[in-house]
Each structure stands twice: as C-alpha cells, then as structure tokens.
C-alpha cells in the first residue's frame, strides 16, 4: 500500500483507501461519517458559470440601494457599504469592520478566487499562485455570510414597516439571487479534484514508500504511521523531520499532528465568550429616539416586539439565532472541551456530530448584527426618529466571533485519540 492510496479523515485521522467516488456520490469516513470527497460531473464548468453570475450580482448588490424608507415625502436609502459607513462614523467601528468583512470582503474573495482558478483552466492553462488562492478560498469560506444577511434584511424590513413606508431596492433582490448562486457555486466547486489536478504528488512529496501498518489494537490512523494530513489540501506527508514546523509540500500550509494547544485555546476563547455574553444580553443593543421619547432595546426586547406585532415566525427565528444558538454553542463546545480534557472515551461519533453542528450554526448568530446595521443606516430622520447601535451590539458581535474561533481551534481528532485507548 502506498501513501497516495490512502486518505486521512480530517476529523478522526483514520487512514482509509481513496476509493473511486461514483457520479454524484460522496465518499465518507467509515468511522465518523465525515465527508472525504465528492464527484460532481461537469462540476468545474458549473462552478465557473455560477461564479461569473455571482460576480455580476456582487456588483449590483453593492452599488444599488438595498432598501429605502419613506417618511412624509422624505426617502432615505442605503447601500450595504453605506450602512457600514454609518456604523463607522457613529463610533461603532468594530461592528462596521465585522459587517464589512463578512458581507462584502469574504464573498468577493471567494468569488474572485474561484474565477482566478477556473478561468485559466477553462482556457487550458494553469492559474498563477493556484495553491495560495485555493487556501484563501478554503479559509474564507467560513466567514462569508450572505445567507445570514438575507434573513437579517427580512427581519429588518418587518421592523421598518412599523415605522414608515418601506421601498425595496434593487440590491435586495440581487442579494437573494446572489445567495442562491453562491450556494450552487460552492456545491459544484470541488477543491479536492483541483489539488490533484494542479500538483503531482510523486514530484511534490518525493518517492512513495510502502507503508507497513504499525501493530496497534485499534484502527490505524495517520499519526500511528508517522504521517501528517494537511487540513487545507489533504496531502499526507511524512512527519519524520527535525524541523520545528513542517510545511505542506503541495500548498505550503504549516503541518501539525494535532492543532497546537487546541484545548487551551478553546477554553480561553470560550471563557471570553461567556464573559461577554452577559453584557450582550443585558445592555442595550439599540438606542431609539423619536417624538414620543427615547427607548433602549435589548436583544430579548427585540424578540418580544416581533412577537407582539404578530411576526411570530420571525420572533422565533431571531430568538433561536440570537439567544439560543450562542448559548448552545458555548455549552456544546464546553462539553466537548471538558470531556476531551478529562479523557472521556464515551460516544466519540456522537460528540463529533455535535462538533459539526456547532461549526454549521456558528454563523447564524450574526443575524441580529445585520438587523441593527440596516436599522441604524435607515432610521436617521433627525427630529422625527433616529436609531443608534448600543454597546451590547459590539459585545454580541465579539461573542459570535469568539465562539466561531473556538470551534475552529478545537481539534475533533482529540476525541478519537482518547477513544482509541478504550479496550
């Protein structure tokens, strides 16, 4: 058996044969059910077409107004960049930077990155800096939140409808189309096939030695065989080196048998998130002033407003995304870190599934941040009514970012390392 005959699961480190994937099929780990590879026929052509469409929609979405608010003949409109600018000039620059990165910068990077790689391939050429661009696309994928922005816009529209006449803008519809196009592009875009196409493992990783499986009582992992699996491109590389940091010979990423100080970093980020979760829910998230007086809104009062105004479904969605999900993320990551810290060997597959759910739902907590962004940008009628972001908005944004980083620093392979010691 050779090194290129094998693939290491990124979530449990189990070594498995790289079997051919059937058309429209998916190759999954036989131990933890993690996705290892997929086969979409004509996937690259579909991804190229959808990425071109996404580029056009990105231009429309960021140049035209998202929504307008009409009061007494006065129409106030805003673009996404304009909303970010209002936050920045209002002193909420941490919130403005967060919204800018997650709604503009990351979607643009992902779309341009796919086009950078796919267009030369369509023309029969090898793209420049392909490994670096693919790594950038991989790392930026978790931070592009167009689908969360769409839901936030819908919630904001419901709230604005009780203030004045809402005028939907061109960008509102283009953002909806962009969400669907980006989902289709990411589904068709297969980085694994591109890594195989761009580089020959025989030339980048040296000779392919025959691997003699070690004598172990349980499943054979990459760590048992002295191999390191790259988290960016999936290449298996020998761990026998005197270098302090070993770089992947295919994509240049730093290789580690396990994420360095995984549990320590996860605990530090979780504790910080718990500390900030209290002011995020207690302090005002918005200040509203109008002819009828001033009002301070918390996240919970916003949910109550949606409920009493008849928007029960949106109230439930906001409650789940802004209150339940952050709390459950903290509890779930705390459970995973605690059980791993104390060498628990129970239910490793169930704990791995919990980790996947935490990674998936992490971005949806940004919903309330986008609602605040739109409201602050539009409700600026001076003597009539104004809305400003409160300190809880920054605290809540920090909680979302910290819990996402905590999920990224936690290494699920540690769960299975402990389970392997079980008789």
Residue 249: the pLDDT is: 82
Residue 213: the pLDDT is: 52
Contacts of 42 (CB under 8 A, 6+ apart): none
Q: How far apart are CA 372 and CA 70, in angstroms?
A: 19
Start-to-end CA distance of the chain, whole Å, equals 27
- In-domain check, residue 190: yes
Residue 2: the pLDDT is: 42
Contact 318, 367 (CB under 8 A): yes
Residue 208: the pLDDT is: 44
Residue 273: the pLDDT is: 95
Contact 98, 397 (CB under 8 A): yes
| Beta carbons within 10 angstroms of residue 287's beta carbon | 16
- In-domain check, residue 139: yes
Residue 214: the pLDDT is: 54
- In-domain check, residue 21: no
The position carrying tokens 């061109």 is: 170
- In-domain check, residue 10: no
Q: How far apart are CA 278 and CA 251, in angstroms?
A: 41
Number of folded domains in the chain? 1
- In-domain check, residue 382: yes
Owning domain of residue 283: 43-196+260-419
Residue 275: the pLDDT is: 95
Residue 354: the pLDDT is: 93
pTM comes to 0.86
What would the pLDDT profile of 362-421 be if each residue is shown by its tens digit?
A: 888 888 899 888 888 887 665 556 778 888 999 999 999 999 999 999 999 999 887 766
Q: How far apart are CA 57 and CA 86, in angstroms?
A: 23
Residue 108: the pLDDT is: 94
Q: How far apart are CA 409 and CA 406, in angstroms?
A: 5
Q: Which residues of the chain have pLDDT under 70?
A: 1-5, 198-218, 240-245, 290-294, 380-385, 420-423
Residue 28: the pLDDT is: 87
């Amino acid at each position: 058996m050779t090194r290129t005959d094998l693939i290491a699961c990124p979530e449990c480190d189990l070594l498995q044969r790289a079997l051919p994937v059937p058309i429209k099929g998916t190759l999954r780990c036989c131990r933890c059910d993690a996705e290892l590879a997929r086969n979409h026929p004509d996937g690259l052509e579909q991804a190229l077409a959808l990425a071109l469409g996404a580029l056009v929609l990105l231009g429309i979405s960021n140049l035209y107004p998202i929504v307008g608010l009409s009061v007494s003949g006065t129409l106030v409109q805003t673009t996404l960049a304009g909303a970010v600018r209002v936050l920045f000039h209002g002193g909420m620059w941490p919130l403005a930077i967060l919204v800018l990165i997650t709604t503009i910068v990351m979607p643009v990077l992902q779309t341009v990155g796919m086009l950078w790689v796919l267009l030369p391939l369509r023309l029969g050429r090898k793209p420049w800096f392909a490994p670096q661009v693919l790594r950038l696309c991989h790392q930026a994928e978790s931070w592009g939140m167009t689908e969360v922005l769409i839901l936030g816009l819908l919630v904001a529209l419901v709230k604005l409808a009780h203030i004045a006449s809402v005028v939907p803008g061109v960008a509102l519809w283009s953002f909806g189309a962009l969400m669907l196009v980006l989902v289709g592009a990411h589904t068709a875009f297969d980085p694994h096939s591109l890594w195989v196409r761009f580089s020959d493992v025989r030339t980048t990783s040296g000779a392919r030695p025959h691997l003699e499986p070690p004598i172990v009582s349980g499943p054979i992992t990459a760590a048992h065989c002295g191999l390191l699996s790259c988290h960016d491109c999936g290449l298996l590389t020998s761990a026998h080196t005197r270098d302090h940091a070993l770089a992947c010979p295919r994509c240049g990423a730093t290789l580690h048998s396990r994420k360095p100080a995984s549990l320590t970093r996860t605990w530090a980020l979780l504790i910080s998130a718990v500390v900030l979760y209290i002011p995020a829910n207690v302090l005002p998230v918005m200040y509203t002033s109008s002819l009828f007086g001033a009002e301070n809104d918390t996240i919970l009062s916003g949910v109550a407003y949606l409920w009493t105004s008849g928007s029960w479904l949106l109230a439930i969605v906001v409650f789940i995304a802004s209150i339940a999900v952050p709390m459950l993320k903290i509890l779930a990551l705390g459970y995973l870190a605690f059980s791993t810290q104390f060498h628990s060997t129970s239910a490793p597959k169930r704990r791995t599934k919990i980790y996947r759910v935490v990674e998936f739902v992490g971005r949806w907590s940004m919903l309330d941040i986008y609602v605040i962004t739109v409201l602050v940008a539009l409700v600026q009628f001076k003597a009539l009514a104004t809305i400003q972001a409160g300190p809880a908005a920054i605290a809540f944004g920090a909680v979302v970012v910290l819990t996402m980083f905590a999920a990224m620093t936690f290494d699920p392979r540690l769960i299975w390392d402990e389970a392997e010691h079980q008789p």
